[in-house]
Amino acid sequence: MYRIDNLQYANWSEKIFRQMREGGLDAVHVTIAYHENFRETVLNMERWNRWFEQHSDLILKGRWAGDVRRAHESARTAIFFGFQNPSPIEDDIGLVEVHHDLGARFMQLTYNNQSLLATGCYEDDDTGLTRMGKQVVREMNRVGLVVDMSHSADRSTIEAAEHSERPITITHANPHFWQPALRNKRDNVIRAVTDNGGMMGFSLYPHHLKDKSACTLESFCQMVADCAEKFGAEHFGIGSDLCQDQPDSVVEWMRVGRWTKEIDYGEGSAAAPGFPPMPSWYKDNRDFGNIATGLATVGFSQAEVEGLMGDNWFHFYEQNFKPAS
Amino acid sequence: MYRIDNLQYANWSEKIFRQMREGGLDAVHVTIAYHENFRETVLNMERWNRWFEQHSDLILKGRWAGDVRRAHESARTAIFFGFQNPSPIEDDIGLVEVHHDLGARFMQLTYNNQSLLATGCYEDDDTGLTRMGKQVVREMNRVGLVVDMSHSADRSTIEAAEHSERPITITHANPHFWQPALRNKRDNVIRAVTDNGGMMGFSLYPHHLKDKSACTLESFCQMVADCAEKFGAEHFGIGSDLCQDQPDSVVEWMRVGRWTKEIDYGEGSAAAPGFPPMPSWYKDNRDFGNIATGLATVGFSQAEVEGLMGDNWFHFYEQNFKPAS
């Protein structure tokens, strides 16, 4: 029914908004902060507000699950805000509710590094949720800001899943058993998230794919089938991590922010520091439907395909964006 | 039907929230910024968010006219945010929509001084709306943030009323013909506001009253009757300017902020620099009903009294808090 991509960070433009429509996307969760502080994040929101005003025929601001329906009915795409790092709340728990009021719906407790809240997946030692991290998770639960652990370390992720009173997410990653990348998740981590009602979005970022840019649609969809068998298809959707049209300076900002004066190549290398080419069957939003075709081919039912393509995220939005009652 | 006080700046406490209930207040528009910049204003919102959480049996956050009804039905008071100065948007028009998202519903274009937008009532020369002022008024119209000219100079107020595509307000002042205070409004100013569908809230701040703290309820209500005859009763309500329990350091902050190193006494004087005592018939929210009694005595019909006590503001909220369609 609904098509939702639960993570993108493109160099947004009218062209891309039109491509979302061509791909039939009813909703996209967009990253609006990597290392930005509170004021910088608000400036990014202001830029989106201009786009909502200028391109009101293509996109609308997503706040609630009902906005996905509204977007679908008016042939537009609902844009939901998220942060890949807790930098937008700085050291102030009161900003959790402020950001929810401003439309934020997902926040990672860490990017790759240790944060004030938890440990990132690139640190040597993972000490789990910090004192502030435990407080912030409960505050996120209260207001309806969803915990995302995509770039967090294993113990931190498992502790977040257990400490949180509402389901948490890994918005964009793949299973480690398929492609043993640092960012991909081991079974015990996926299980901790899904056992507590949470969801994971499958990533199409080449560093997370088997054979990277050469990954086949068949291999990707078979991996989805394997995950569905292990953990239940209803716990999965797509979080493509599409970084379309971004200059390489942006991947450098994502990796080094202001935390180091040296270059950190993250999942890349000195020889290949930029964004890798996307797989041939998913170059941009217009190809989103190819995934549905591939999923049907590996044996998913029509209802399962619809769930994986967006309805699972839709139901998750329905349950988790409102304040706790 | 509904009782609304459309301006207070008290030293908020559970005691005062309980007194609002005793006075039957369904809604109060509260000032949350005088000279605060964006981040400081957000900190004030965070403090209110704590009060909404801690005192959810007494108050709720007001965003829309429907929240007045919700408050009434649950015997609580809806709190609507407003700014007495445009300092919370700094020099950034994008913050108009951000603040509306955060719940702000009224913003003065100036406090007593010249601002980036218009001229305040204490300046020697009034140059009307600035270039940015004209842009910001239209942006406020677009998102549903109401223009308030209580502390603005005459020409600026008239220009705002004419330039604005939606009705504007003087949330707290009285007519100059009754008490010739600098802050009270001349007939041509009131007419510019009311002719364009706008509203004025009558102030109970002693410096705005005839005979100041000794003002009688009869004199106040006769002034209301005179205004109703001149401009139409439907254009008026109450904006008490109650500053209950504030230390005198707060009136100093209101008057001098960070803009001067000298003391400015505003409507006070070196001999009486603090808050003046309130009139005997309106000491705090518990006395709000006395005004209804007084209004009936000077000949207002029951429907007119209900309008003046809150229904006029309620209808204004219904028309002016939503984004322009």
Over chain A, what HEC string results? CCCEEEEECCCCCHHHHHHHHHCCCCEEEEEEECCCCHHHHHHHHHHHHHHHHHCCCCEEECCCHHHHHHHHHCCCEEEEEEECCCHHHCCCCHHHHHHHHCCEEEEECCCCCCCCCCCECCCCCCCCCCHHHHHHHHHHHHHCCEEECCCECHHHHHHHHHHCCCCCEEEEECECCCCCCCCCECHHHHHHHHHCCCEEEECCCHHHCCCHHHCCHHHHHHHHHHHHHHHCHHHEEECCCECCCCCHHHHHHHHHCCCCCCCCCCCCCCCCCCCCCCCCCCCCHHHHHHHHHHHHHCCCCHHHHHHHHHHHHHHHHHHHCCCCC
Contact residues, chain B, for A48 at CB < 8 Å: none
Residue of A39, A46, A50 lying closest to B39 (CB–CB): A39
What's the angle, vertex CA B284, arms to CA B316 and CA B199, rounded to 5? 20
Contact residues, chain B, for A98 at CB < 8 Å: 42, 45-46, 49, 102
- Per residue in B125-160, pLDDT tens? 999 999 999 999 999 999 999 999 999 999 999 999
Size of interface A-B (CB pairs under 8 A): 39
**One-letter amino acid for residue B213 of the chain:** S
Contact residues, chain A, for B145 at CB < 8 Å: none
Read off the tokens for A104. Answer: 């934020």
Q: How confident is the model at residue A220 (pLDDT cuts 50, 70, 90)?
A: very high
Q: Between chains, do A42 and B98 touch, taking CB under 8 Å as contact?
A: yes
Residue A265 has pLDDT above 90, yes or no: no
Given CB atoms, is A38 within the 8 Å cutoff of chain B?
A: yes
Sequential DSSP letters for B279-304: PTT-SSGGGHHHHHHHHHHTT--HHH
Residue of B92, B95, B101 lying closest to A101 (CB–CB): B101
Residue of B43, B98, B103 lying closest to A45 (CB–CB): B98
Q: How confident is the model at residue B264 (pLDDT cuts 50, 70, 90)?
A: confident
Q: Which chain A residue has its CA at the smallest distance from B39's CA?
A: A39
Residue B270 has pLDDT above 90, yes or no: no
Q: What is the pLDDT of residue A273?
A: 83
> B215 vs chain A: nearest CA distance in angstroms?
42
> B102 vs chain A: nearest CA distance in angstroms?
6
d(C-alpha B310, C-alpha B318), whole Å: 12
Spatial neighbors of A147 by CB under 8 A, at least 6 apart, are A107, A109, A137, A140, A160, A164, A168, A169
Q: What is the pLDDT of residue A274?
A: 82
Q: Which chain B residue has its CA at the smallest distance from A99's CA?
A: B102
Going from the C-alpha of A24 to that of each of A28, B62, B325, the distances in angstroms are 11, 37, 27
Residue B166 has pLDDT above 90, yes or no: yes
What's the angle, vertex CA A233, arms to CA A159 and CA A146, rounded to 5? 40
Closest-CA residue to A119 (of A159, A82, A146):
A159
Angle formed by the axes of helices B154-163 and B131-143, nearest 10°: 50
Q: Between chains, do B46 and A92 touch, taking CB under 8 Å as contact?
A: yes
Q: What is the pLDDT of residue B273?
A: 82
Contact B99, B107 (CB under 8 A): yes
With tokens 């998230």, the residue in question is A193
| Residues B24-37, mean pLDDT to the nearest whole number | 98
- Per residue in A132-173, pLDDT tens? 999 999 999 999 999 999 999 999 999 999 999 999 999 999
In chain A, where the domains are located: 4-320
Give, for B45, the enclosing helix (H) or strand (E). Answer: helix B38-54
> A103 vs chain B: nearest CA distance in angstroms?
8
Sequential DSSP letters for B231-289: H-GGGEEE---B-TT--HHHHHHHHHTTT-SS---TTS-SSS-SPPPPPTT-SSGGGHH
Residue of B92, B94, B102 lying closest to A98 (CB–CB): B102
Residue B190 has pLDDT above 90, yes or no: yes
Residue A264 has pLDDT above 90, yes or no: no
Residue of A45, A98, A103 lying closest to B42 (CB–CB): A98
Q: How confident is the model at residue A114 (pLDDT cuts 50, 70, 90)?
A: very high
- DSSP state, B206? G
- Per residue in B59-79, pLDDT tens? 999 999 999 999 999 999 999
Given CB atoms, is B143 within the 8 Å cutoff of chain A?
A: no
**Distance in Å from the first CA to the final CA of chain A:** 28
Q: What is the pLDDT of residue A231?
A: 98
Contact B35, B257 (CB under 8 A): yes
Q: What is the pLDDT of residue A304?
A: 98
- Per residue in A10-54, pLDDT tens? 999 999 999 999 999 999 999 999 999 999 999 999 999 999 999
Give, for B107, the enclosing helix (H) or strand (E). Answer: strand B104-108
The interface residues of chain A toward chain B in range 56-95, judged by CB-CB distance below 8 A, are: 92, 94-95
d(C-alpha A39, C-alpha B68), whole Å: 32
Q: Between chains, do A49 and B98 touch, taking CB under 8 Å as contact?
A: yes
Greatest CA span in chain B, whole angstroms? 52
Read off the tokens for A235. Answer: 């716990």
Closest-CA residue to A182 (of A243, A275, A269, A266):
A266
Q: What is the pLDDT of residue A121?
A: 97
Q: What is the pLDDT of residue B15?
A: 98
- pLDDT exceeding 90 applies to what percent of chain B? 92
Residue B271 has pLDDT above 90, yes or no: no
| Residues A213-234, mean pLDDT to the nearest whole number | 98
Read off the tokens for A106. Answer: 């997902």
Q: What is the pLDDT of residue A155?
A: 98
Given CB atoms, is A97 within the 8 Å cutoff of chain B?
A: yes
Contact B16, B252 (CB under 8 A): no
Q: Between chains, do A49 and B92 touch, taking CB under 8 Å as contact?
A: no
| Beta bridge partner(s), residue B185 | B175
Neighbours of B212 (CB within 10 A): 17
| Residues B113-132, mean pLDDT to the nearest whole number | 98
Give, for B171, the enclosing helix (H) or strand (E). Answer: strand B169-173
Residue of A49, A97, A103 lying closest to B49 (CB–CB): A97
Q: How confident is the model at residue A296 (pLDDT cuts 50, 70, 90)?
A: very high
Q: Between chains, do A103 and B98 touch, taking CB under 8 Å as contact?
A: no
Q: Between chains, do B49 and A98 touch, taking CB under 8 Å as contact?
A: yes
The mean of the pLDDT values for chain A is: 97
Contact residues, chain B, for A97 at CB < 8 Å: 46, 49
Q: What is the pLDDT of residue B275?
A: 85
Q: Between chains, do A95 and B46 touch, taking CB under 8 Å as contact?
A: yes
Q: How confident is the model at residue B274 (pLDDT cuts 50, 70, 90)?
A: confident
Q: Between chains, do A97 and B46 touch, taking CB under 8 Å as contact?
A: yes
| Residues B220-231, mean pLDDT to the nearest whole number | 98
- pLDDT exceeding 90 applies to what percent of chain A? 93
| Per-residue exposure over B97-121, b if at least 16 CB sit within 10 Å of its own CB, e if not | bbbbbbbbbbbbbbbbbbbbbbbbb
Neighbours of A45 (CB within 10 A): 21
Residue B183 has pLDDT above 90, yes or no: yes
Flag the least confident range among A58-72, A208-222, A248-262, B193-207.
A248-262
Read off the tokens for A302. Answer: 């029509």
Contact A321, A65 (CB under 8 A): yes
Q: What is the pLDDT of residue A272?
A: 84
| Per-residue exposure over A128-147, b if at least 16 CB sit within 10 Å of its own CB, e if not | bbbebbbebbbbbbbbbbbb
Q: What is the pLDDT of residue B173?
A: 98
Q: Between chains, do B94 and A46 touch, taking CB under 8 Å as contact?
A: yes
d(C-alpha B216, C-alpha B225), whole Å: 14
- DSSP state, B207? G
Residue A275 has pLDDT above 90, yes or no: no
Residue of A46, A95, A97 lying closest to B98 (CB–CB): A46
Going from the C-alpha of A322 to that of each of A88, A252, A288, A311, the distances in angstroms are 20, 35, 28, 18
What's the angle, vertex CA B117, arms to CA B268 and CA B237, rounded to 5? 60
d(C-alpha B81, C-alpha B7), whole Å: 10
Closest-CA residue to B12 (of B234, B294, B285):
B285
Q: Between chains, do A94 and B39 touch, taking CB under 8 Å as contact?
A: no
Q: What is the pLDDT of residue A248?
A: 86
| Per-residue exposure over B283-320, b if at least 16 CB sit within 10 Å of its own CB, e if not | ebbbbbebbbebbeebebeeebbbbbbbbbbbbbbeeb
- pLDDT exceeding 70 applies to what percent of chain A? 100
CATH code of domain A4-320 = 3.20.20.140
| Beta bridge partner(s), residue B311 | none
Q: How confident is the model at residue A266 (pLDDT cuts 50, 70, 90)?
A: confident
Q: Between chains, do A42 and B95 touch, taking CB under 8 Å as contact?
A: yes
Contact residues, chain A, for B42 at CB < 8 Å: 38, 95, 98
Q: How confident is the model at residue B249 (pLDDT cuts 50, 70, 90)?
A: confident
Which of A44, A47, A48, A49 has the most B C-beta neighbours within 10 Å, making it the best mutation to test the interface with B? A49
Grouping H, G, I as helix, E, B as strand and the rest as coil, residue B146 is strand
> A102 vs chain B: nearest CA distance in angstroms?
6
Which of A101, A143, A325 has the most B C-beta neighbours within 10 Å, making it the best mutation to test the interface with B? A101
Q: What is the pLDDT of residue B189?
A: 98
Q: Between chains, do B94 and A38 touch, taking CB under 8 Å as contact?
A: no
- Per residue in A66-111, pLDDT tens? 999 999 999 999 999 999 999 999 999 999 999 999 999 999 999 9
The mean of the pLDDT values for chain B is: 97
Q: Between chains, do B39 and A38 touch, taking CB under 8 Å as contact?
A: yes
